Amino acid sequence: MDSKASDISDPMTEIDPASRESGERPDKAGIAGDADGPHEGPDGGAPVADPAPAPDPAPKRARSLAPLKMLYREAGKYPRQIASAVIALLITALATLAIPWRFKVIIDDAFGGLAGPEEIAHAFQYLLMIVVVLGIGTAARFYFVSWIGERVVADIRLKVQKNLLRLSPGFYEENSPKEISSRMTSDTAIIETVVGTTVSIALRNTLTGIGGIVLLLYLAPTLTLGLLLGIPLVILPIVFFGRKIRAISRSSQDRVADVGAYVTEVLSAMKVVQSFGQETREGDRFGTVVERTFDTARKRIMLRAAMTSIVILLIFGGITLVMWRGALAVSEGTITGGTIAAFVLTGGLVAGAMGSLTEVYGDLLRGAGAASRLAELLEAKPGIAAPERPQQLPSPPRGSLSFRNVTFRYPARPESAALDNFSLEIEPGETVAIVGPSGAGKSTVFQLVERFYDPQAGTIRLDGVALTKADPADIRDRIAFVPQDGVLFSANARDNLRYGKWDASDAEIWEAARAANAHEFLRDLPQGLDTYLGEGGTQLSGGQQQRVAIARALLRDSPILLLDEATSALDAQSEQLVQQALDGLMKDRTTLVIAHRLATVRAADRIIVLDKGRLVEQGSHSELSQAGGLYARLARLQFAAEAA
């Protein structure tokens, strides 16, 4: 399981601190040991190219609704829908307030014996018309506000995903993709509720409250002034509790993200969990995560409950006292029974609106927390970006690579050089095998070639152009990469194959599949190229996945091939088929191979040997074997392993 994801989902995970930081995998018995780069041992660590999201917003920001400005900006792109929603809100607020007024007329005229049957009928007809208008306005308000909420969430998701695709791989090695995925789901769900429901409730209750106070002043100014004097007593607890709720809401959302990250991690590694009989321990770990989430949520609920109860007590206590005074006024004959009835109904609406606003404020604070977490993803800047005026790579491409005095340290391990004063010239069409022990810097070479990182010293050139002066997209367009374990997507076979060239025709796809020895099993699939391959290509064997990955690289038809040897974990038959496909793929291309098998090393034009980030040897297999250096020792280890 991914140690980084475990670390995020459960801080108490029992993982060695060194391996947690480096992401190191167990070494393999072979010439090259293991791949480096993102899983480097002592030379790599967990690289970081982009700024990580801050653990918590600044204190000043934590006490405000400022993060919701992002939602206002997004909603502002749809003025027609906002105008329609506002009109519907105004209509429903006015209709709501008109109901108490009609009751005043009915009580004073109808129950007071001042109106005949026709006037009474008209009074109730007007009341029914108001109810109809209220129902239609409420439906319109619900539609437009909900539409805006869904549209804003969709736009934010698109913008966040677009920015995430710009960030270099180092960002995701420091920040768990599972936790980021949780932000894209749980946090956007909160925002959808805030924009599509909470804001509407807030506006409706604000309009109702303001309009109700105006009506109360008209009905009974003296009683209303007494009611208004208690408003500061209501606002103070809202402000006091609101600050605390804002901070703990952010923490609560982080804990919910932990749950999602943990579930994704364990379910994706279920075979490993069950193979090692760790179901009970994983259940206990999940229980710890859930309980921590519950404890945080309980604190938030207690604060909101306390705020709501105090505010309701103050509001309705004040109304009770005011109504007491109003009852005395009716008995004295200074106001009518209809007036006091309308006052009571309107006062109830105002009190309900104020009470709802206390809960709404808590929801808005929670939405602000979600917005701030998403804003961190939107504001993250790529560590690797194209210069303002990128230098064009020569055309047609030649495929030459040059490393001159390159020194590189991963940001997470600045004290250790992944590559140290590394120099290498690779001619067009040359096949170079890179070998060395685990943590020597092999995959670091690959990552620098694709410009996922920039070195701190030295220069890397592609066809004579320094990589830092070129557009990263242009650089990667000239490179095809075949990973050690074929990475497939949850899509059909056609989409996985044409990932290297999205506009490829079926004829081109089948030609690449044939060259990769993949055409036979692809034709045998139930729906051919339209067959869904499962999550991560689980419907295919390991050898079949590798051949699909090779066909994908063939379709890309790039002059440079980076090959983290794809045969090291396959059975003999699959290895033979994949190796044949690789031989075709490597033809007439500049190829860098992280070599795990001796057969690959012998076939290379040149072998370079890395140790602790330094180039210690280079030459042919026979030359290096006779030299008796590091290569010879690694080769003897593999011979011994194969003999056993």
Q: What is the pLDDT of residue 504?
A: 87
Q: Are strands 479-482 and 560-564 parallel, antiparallel or unpaired?
A: parallel
Q: Is position 621 within any domain?
A: no
Q: Is position 502 within any domain?
A: yes
Q: Is position 475 within any domain?
A: no
Q: What is the pLDDT of residue 42?
A: 34
Q: What is the pLDDT of residue 132?
A: 93
E strands, 522-588, are: 560-564
> Are 310 and 167 in a shared domain?
yes
Pick the last residue of a domain from 357, 379, 401: 379
| CA quadruple 489, 490, 493, 498: dihedral sign | negative
Given a cut of 70, the residues of the chain with pLDDT beneath it are 1-64, 110-116, 230-231, 319, 358, 566-572, 574-575, 578, 596-600, 638-644
Look up residue 546 and give its two tokens. Answer: 């590798």
Q: How many domains does the chain have?
A: 2
DSSP per-residue string spanning 139-205: HHHHHHHHHHHHHHHHHHHHHHHHHHHHS-HHHHHHS-HHHHHHIIIIIHHHHHHIIIIIHHHHHHH
Pick the closest to residue 586 from 567, 606, 609, 562 (CA basis): 562
Q: Is position 633 within any domain?
A: no
- Alpha carbon 362 to its chain centroid, in Å, reads 24
Domain that includes residue 553, residue range: 486-557
CB atoms within 10 A of CB 364: 23
Q: Is position 355 within any domain?
A: yes
Summarised one tens digit per residue, pLDDT across range 356-389 is 776 787 788 888 888 888 888 888 888 788 888 9
Q: What is the CATH number of the domain that holds 316?
A: 1.20.1560.10
Structural element, H or E, at residue 617: strand 614-619
Q: What is the pLDDT of residue 115?
A: 60
Q: Is 644 exposed, middle or buried (0-12, 13-18, 19+ CB in 10 A)?
A: exposed
Q: What is the CATH number of the domain that holds 515?
A: 3.40.50.300
> Are 346 and 222 in a shared domain?
yes
Pick the last residue of a domain from 523, 557, 591: 557
DSSP per-residue string spanning 297-333: HHHHHHHHHHHHHHHHHHHHHHHHHHHHHHHHHHHHT
> Are 210 and 359 in a shared domain?
yes
Q: Which residues contact 237 (CB under 8 A, 6 or more apart)?
A: 307, 310, 311, 314
> Are 257 and 117 in a shared domain?
yes
Q: What is the pLDDT of residue 566?
A: 63
State phi, psi for 340 to the nearest 5 degrees: -70, -30
Whole-angstrom distance, CA of residue 36 vs CA of residue 44: 7
Q: What is the pLDDT of residue 432?
A: 92
Q: What is the pLDDT of residue 286?
A: 87
> Are 364 and 490 in a shared domain?
no
Q: Is position 111 within any domain?
A: yes
Q: Is position 257 within any domain?
A: yes
DSSP state of 390: P
Pick the last residue of a domain from 334, 355, 379: 379
Q: Is position 574 within any domain?
A: no
